[in-house]
Amino acid sequence: PLDLALLAELSPTSKLTPLDRASGIGLLPAWADFVQNDAESWERYDLLSAEKLFKNYAGVSDALYDEMISPLLHVLPMTPGYDCSAAAALSCFHVFALQSKGAFDVRWCKGGIAESIFNPWVEKLTTSR
């Protein structure tokens, strides 16, 4: 689900250690079990939040969740992991991140988003009055 090639392509300056990246392998059983076009799969995985699937069952590291999975959940199904079903998350990752890999382009901000984007923007808006 978090394509190993995608994990390998992360910048060398990424906060994710090789151990964090390897923790994504814990998602393989759910990935193999979830069938995109199967109503029973959806029923089973809809009962579970994406956050619980990733953190409790798959055992992804907190760093991997915070640096990669959570931002993807905010962009793809547009919801935090505790509000998103595991089925919706797996489906979004399958369709957008894996099937459309060539068209899927994510860039992680170097540094905090507030410091790098929002604070300079607010400053520019307030000084241009």
User: What pTM was computed for the model?
Assistant: 0.68
Largest CA distance in the chain: 57
The pLDDT value given to residue 99: 58
Tell me if 49 sits within 8 A of 27, measured CB to CB: no
Tens of pLDDT, residue by residue over 70-113, are 888 888 788 888 999 999 999 988 776 665 555 555 566 666 77
Question: Which residues make beta-bridge pairs with 85?
Answer: 49
Please tell me the distance from the alpha carbon of residue 64 to that of residue 43, in angstroms, as a whole number.
Answer: 27
Residue percentage of the chain with pLDDT more than 70: 77
Per-residue confidence at 6, pLDDT binned at 50, 70, 90?
low
Looking at per-residue pLDDT, the higher value among 118 and 61 belongs to: 61
Tell me if 43 sits within 8 A of 80, measured CB to CB: no
The pLDDT value given to residue 47: 95
